[in-house]
């Protein structure tokens, strides 16, 4: 088929058979739920943002100011000081052009990506010995969220493998007013030492099958054969992160993928290899979680993993797809 002809075909009709087969299976072969899923992934992604309390001590007044500038805003119910932009006919959506964004008072961040930081359980009374590692930090969304919770106390190591991505990371961290961060440019699987960090965040490189709303053409290139190599890297990163974690410390593992190989099945393999790893319950009030995964073709998902991890479907909260697991080191 020529490129010109394919461009005239609706994206829904260009979905590959393997995509439909796998996602139908994930949705328990419920055709209605699958159609709802497809409907949502073909919608434009909703913009969302978080107020940076390092630079803004009156979030409510800031929101009122933004509303006066013509933005239609609603609260994200599962994250404090976080909001959606609603697309109404006469409302503004150019939040990136606002003074508040330029000054670092707000940070544009996809709503589901706020969940792993919430689950790190960062105490309010930390001292300057408290250390956090963000293993794959750029462009800094979750790093700045961690920094806001730590209120410039303790130490955050923001690591990024790709040196080309260091520049946006540095800009975002500086704009956010954070002074307790060290940026490193390492392969996170080769960070030296053991039992160093109180908290670790691993937002792992992944296939991106949960963020089709951000890049709809992904449904035409979807290829599960690539997952094997990606999963090797993810497991290696998670293993090294766990080794770097202090006893009683917490690591969150997340992906913007919905493929079980990168999520529930990978966590199962990791837990089987690490008997001192305790899977903790991911509890985020007001976050809607339907269609939990209990099996995937011949793979039966352990009930503990089904119940304790978070699998966010786009149709649940009108967001992207996302997965999070929370692990404690005993």
**Domain definitions of the chain by residue range:** 48-108, 112-329
Per-residue confidence (pLDDT) for residue 310, from 0 to 100: 98
- Domain range 112-329, CATH architecture: 3-Layer(aba) Sandwich (3.40)
Which residue, among 253, 268, 239, has the nearest Cα to 310 in the 3D structure?
253
How many whole angstroms from its chain centre is CA 230?
17
The string of pLDDT tens digits covering residues 44-83 is 889 999 999 999 999 999 999 999 999 999 999 999 999 9
CATH C-level class of 48-108: alpha beta
Residues with Cβ within 8 Å of 89's Cβ and at least 6 positions away in sequence, in order, are none
Looking at 93-102, 258-267, 321-330, which range is the least confident one? 93-102
Per-residue confidence (pLDDT) for residue 92, from 0 to 100: 75
The helix/strand/coil state of 235 is helix
- Band (pLDDT 50/70/90 cuts) for residue 218 is confident
Active site residue 256: yes
Residues with Cβ within 8 Å of 287's Cβ and at least 6 positions away in sequence, in order, are 77, 78, 115, 310, 312, 317
What average pLDDT score do residues 238-251 get? 98
Catalytic-role residue among 79, 206, 256, 282:
256
The helix/strand/coil state of 159 is strand
Please determine, for residue 316, whether its predicted confidence score (pLDDT) is greater than 90. Answer: yes
Please determine, for residue 238, whether its predicted confidence score (pLDDT) is greater than 70. Answer: yes
List 75's β-bridge partners, or say none.
83
Percent of the chain with pLDDT over 70: 97
What average pLDDT score do residues 241-256 get? 98
Please determine, for residue 220, whether its predicted confidence score (pLDDT) is greater than 80. Answer: yes
Query: pTM of this prediction?
Result: 0.95
The helix/strand/coil state of 129 is coil
């Amino acid at each position: 088929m020529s490129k010109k002809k394919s461009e005239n075909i609706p994206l829904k009709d260009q979905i590959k058979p393997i995509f439909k087969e796998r996602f139908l299976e994930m949705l328990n072969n419920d055709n209605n739920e699958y159609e709802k899923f497809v409907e949502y992934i073909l919608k434009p992604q909703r913009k969302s943002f978080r107020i940076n309390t390092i630079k803004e001590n009156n979030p409510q007044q800031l929101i009122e100011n933004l509303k006066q500038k013509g933005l239609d805003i609603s609260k994200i119910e599962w994250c404090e000081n976080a909001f959606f932009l609603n697309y109404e006919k006469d409302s503004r959506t150019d939040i990136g052009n606002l003074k508040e964004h330029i000054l670092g008072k707000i940070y544009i961040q996809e709503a589901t990506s706020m969940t792993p930081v919430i689950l790190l359980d960062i105490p309010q009374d930390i001292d300057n010995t408290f250390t956090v590692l963000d293993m794959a930090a750029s462009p800094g969304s979750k790093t700045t969220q961690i920094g806001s919770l730590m209120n410039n106390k303790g130490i955050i190591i923001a690591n990024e493998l790709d040196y080309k991505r260091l520049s946006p990371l540095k800009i975002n961290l500086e704009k956010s007013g954070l002074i307790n961060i060290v940026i490193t440019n390492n392969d996170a699987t080769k960070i030296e030492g053991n039992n160093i960090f109180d908290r670790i965040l691993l937002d792992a490189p992944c296939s991106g099958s949960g963020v089709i709303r951000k890049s709809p053409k992904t449904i035409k290139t979807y290829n599960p054969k690539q997952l094997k190599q990606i999963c090797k890297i993810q497991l290696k990163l998670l293993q090294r992160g766990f080794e770097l974690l202090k006893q009683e410390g917490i690591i969150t593992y997340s992906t913007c993928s919905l493929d079980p190989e990168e999520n529930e099945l990978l966590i199962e393999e990791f837990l089987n290899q690490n008997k001192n790893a305790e899977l903790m319950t991911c509890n985020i009030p007001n976050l809607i979680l339907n269609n939990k995964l209990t099996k995937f073709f011949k793979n039966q998902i352990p009930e503990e993993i089904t119940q304790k991890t978070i699998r966010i479907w786009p149709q649940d909260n009108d967001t992207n797809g996302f997965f999070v697991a929370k692990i404690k080191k005993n």
